[in-house]
Chains A and B, each alone.
Chain A
Amino acid sequence: MAVLSSLPVVVPFMLAPLLVAVGAYAPRWSEDALAMVGAVAVLVICLLLAVHAGARPFVYWMGGWRPERGVAIGIAFAIDPLGAGMAAFAAVMVLAALTYSLRYFDAVGGLFHGLMLLFLAGMAGFCLTGDLFDLVVFFELMSAVAYALTAYRIEERAPIQGAINFAVTNSIGGYAMFIAVAMLYARTGQLNMAQIGAALDGHRADPLVIVSMVLLLLGFLTKAAAVPLHFWLADAHAVAPVPVCVLFSGVMVELGIYAVARIYWVIFAGPLAGHAEALRAILVALGVTTALLGAVMCVLQRHIKRLLAFSTISHVGVFVCGVGLLGSKALAGVAAFVVGHGLTKAALFMLCGVLLHRFRTVDEYDLHGRGRELRVAGVLFAAGGLLLAAPPPFTEFQGKSLLESASSGAGFGWLTAVFAVVSALTAGAVLRVGGRVFLGWGPSEGPDPQQARPAHERVDETRDERDHTPPLMLIVPGILLTATIVLGLVPGAIPWLSGAAARFTDHRAYAAWVLHGRTVAWPRVAPSHVSAGDVIIGLLTVAAAVAVAGAGLFGRPAVARLPQGIRVGGGGAVRRLRRLHSGHIGDYIAWWTTGAGVLGGACLLALR
């Protein structure tokens, strides 16, 4: 089984250049077929790996360079169920995006397909590797491909600017990580993550260890778009083609969260064991800030892709809180939530693509009432909006209830309220868009001079005539939404994730099976029960989301009756908040530097 481990990276690596080389001469269907074969192969292999690792995690040493007496020289893929599962999830997303683009995207010359496969190779390697330097290299690989995919429609203005902002911000995050790798190598003489962790065990966390952790966190949280490192995300999502947005929001951003969890438990859990409380407080504070700011910005948007992007930022905040609780139950909750959120968000982006295809705009007010004839798309959009509110008993709710029980267990019970506010605001914003576009509810409004430009897509993103929607563009999001509903209800799915998370968070066991090949018993996880309180909170959240949507559609007269002081003050705050998202790369990096200083300062002060 271990010998299959490298294939999720190797197969797309072999197919991608082939696609680019023959793409210019081969018919479109052959490119589609080849790319989808690659994605299916990766999916099947990753599922096999996940199932086998579920019974017993294993390591693949490249070239047979096995560790001697517990000292690793070679480069390893360390396959544990959560990592392999995440790689499989990435393959599902790529497969969905490729299927959707069959009818959607006028891709020529095999470039798009080749890039999608390289993206998949980067993500799969990122999930499977057990080597810190490789983790950074795969990070850079998927980033470089992502920049190119963002600027795929290079003839237009907005994608160029979006890709530049994305590339500069993420490159700086990458440099921070290179320095962190060098520092940890200087301290331990190792690049294997388990080996670094073992070398740091039993030592106290000195400034070098803390600074290297901060630098790694900065890189991964830039990818995950935590505030204030998040500015690139909304720009990139607003301009990237819809199938690419599906991957960005559905899985790439979440991989940043995955890596934060990975490096904490494998490398830093030992030296920071005495400081878990302080680190928890720092990460939860970061998560809550991200969640609330993302949710507020989400409600303020009228460009639908940007709105969905800020909703992703908001959910990232929830995930950062979850990982930041530093417990296996919370991590299991995050994993379930990531799957549910990814599927739902992917479907919503695809439905956004339907609107783009038919009307060439994704501006909420331009589309006022124009979606009335698109009944199926409207129903799916509403379903997606409701699912985003995490209604019981579906996948997102399962994840959220695990998270809530973990946070009250860790003394952060008030996080439940934050999660509810986030779900209600982001889902409410999506439902508001649905009501306005597909039902024609609420007053109409003229074009917004600031935002109208990027919302109009002048160059055709889609092929085919525009008087009907290709069925495939509705079938794929339909399947994804169904999967969101069904997956969390599959018996054994949540206990499997809980077990995988328990294994993931076992610092000593990870070192034992990676470095010494020892079998580790599958940890026993107490089954978690969804309480009646969770269900009631879940239902109230859905109701609140509907209320938020209603307020967005019909609330203007009520706002007009508010005292003038509140209106002016609120309007001013909103304007200032929006002005921060200026599209100017210098501003973004200034915020990045501030964030780095705050995070670094907080960690150095609190973790000593």
Chain B
Amino acid sequence: MSFAPYAAAAWLFVVGLYGVIASSNLVRTVLSLTVVQSATYLVLLGVGYRHGGKAPIVADIPKSSRLVDPVTQVLVLTDVVIEATVLALLLALIVQAQKRFGSIDPARLRALRD
């Protein structure tokens, strides 16, 4: 089993976090968030991958075919659906932030400071 997907996932997670930390634009913050999230896809798909495996759609391939693990693929789908919801919500909030603050630079959102 190749180590590459996990190394790539670790890189995506870290670089995405850096993007969220360093971003001066909330849209870029959300994009960085999707980068972090891609790490979860890679890990899940890497875990379920079998060398030479076919897509787990068993209707039209011989029963003896080698398949990749369908469970992790389903988990990825669930992951995608959940995050699509959250990202849509976040982007809507950012549109609203632009309207109310006149800026989407997190440093210029100053409604909450201790």
Seen from chain A, the residues whose Cβ lies within 8 Å of a Cβ on chain B are 133, 137, 140-141, 143-144, 147-148, 151, 154-158, 160-165, 167-168, 171-172, 174-175, 178-179, 181-183, 185-186, 191, 234-235, 238-239, 297, 301, 306, 450-451, 453-454, 578-587, 589-590, 593
Contact = CB atoms under 8 A, between A and B. Distances in A.
Interface string B71-114: 11001001100110110011001101100110000110111111
Contacts of A297: 114
Given A147-B90, A164-B93, A586-B21, 5 more contacts: A157-B109, A185-B75, A451-B114, A583-B110, A584-B106
Chain B interface helix/strand/loop/mixed: helix
Contacts of A239: 111-112
B68 interface: no
Interface residues of B, number: 43
A185 B71 contact: yes
Interface centre among B23, B43, B82, B112 (most CB of A within 10 A): B112
Given A137-B82, A158-B111, A586-B23, A172 B33 contact: yes
Given A185-B47, A454-B112, A584 B26 contact: no
Contact of A137 (B22, B78, B100): B78
Contact of A181 (B75, B113, B114): B75
Nearest to B104: A164
A417 B26 CA distance: 43
Nearest to A239: B112
A589 B114 contact: no
B1 to A, nearest CB: 9
Nearest to B26: A164
A378 B9 CA distance: 55
B11 to A, nearest CB: 13
B77 to A, nearest CB: 12
B96 A154 contact: yes
A171 B33 contact: yes
A581 B47 contact: no
A136 B93 CA distance: 24
A585 B17 CA distance: 11
B10 to A, nearest CB: 9
Nearest to B37: A175
A589 B71 CA distance: 31
B23 A147 contact: no
A168 B109 CA distance: 15
Contact of A589 (B13, B20, B39, B101): B20
Contacts of B111: 157-158, 160-162, 239, 453-454, 583
Given A164-B26, A178-B44, A581 B114 contact: yes
A239 B97 CA distance: 14
B90 A156 contact: no
A175 B72 contact: no
A177 to B, nearest CB: 9
A505 B34 CA distance: 37
Interface of B: 9, 13, 17, 20-23, 26, 29-30, 33, 36-37, 39-40, 43-44, 47, 71-72, 75, 78-79, 82-83, 85-86, 89-90, 93-94, 96-97, 100-101, 106-107, 109-114
A171 B86 contact: yes
A148 B47 CA distance: 33
Contacts of B109: 157, 160-161, 164, 583-584
A589 B100 contact: no
A172 B93 contact: no
Contacts of B21: 586-587, 589-590, 593
A178 B33 CA distance: 14
B90 to A, nearest CB: 5
Given A160-B100, A167-B86, A172 B44 contact: no
Given A144-B82, A154-B96, A183-B43, A450 B113 contact: yes
A136 to B, nearest CB: 9
15 contacts: A133-B75, A147-B93, A157-B109, A158-B112, A161-B109, A168-B29, A171-B86, A182-B43, A182-B75, A185-B71, A301-B114, A454-B112, A582-B113, A585-B29, A586-B29
B59 to A, nearest CB: 21
A582 B107 CA distance: 9
Given A168-B33, A586-B22, A179 B114 contact: no
Contact of A160 (B9, B22, B40, B93): B93
- Across chains A and B, which 4 residue pairs bring their CB atoms closest together, nearest first? A581-B114, A583-B112, A158-B111, A178-B40
B17 A584 contact: no
B93 A585 contact: no
A453 B100 CA distance: 14
Contact of A163 (B82, B93, B110): B93
B89 A144 contact: yes
B44 to A, nearest CB: 5
Given A178-B79, A179-B39, A182-B72, A157 B114 contact: no
Given A583-B113, A586-B22, A182 B82 contact: no
A593 B17 contact: yes
B33 A160 contact: no
Contact of B90 (A164, A191, A578, A581): A164
Nearest to B30: A168
Nearest to B113: A583
Contacts of B85: 144
Contacts of B96: 151, 154, 160
A585 B33 CA distance: 12
A158 B97 CA distance: 9
B29 A171 contact: no
B89 A167 contact: yes
A162 B26 CA distance: 13
B39 A147 contact: no
A584 B86 CA distance: 20
A148 B113 contact: no
A445 to B, nearest CB: 17
Given A133-B75, A140-B82, A164-B94, A235 B36 contact: no
Contacts of A450: 113-114
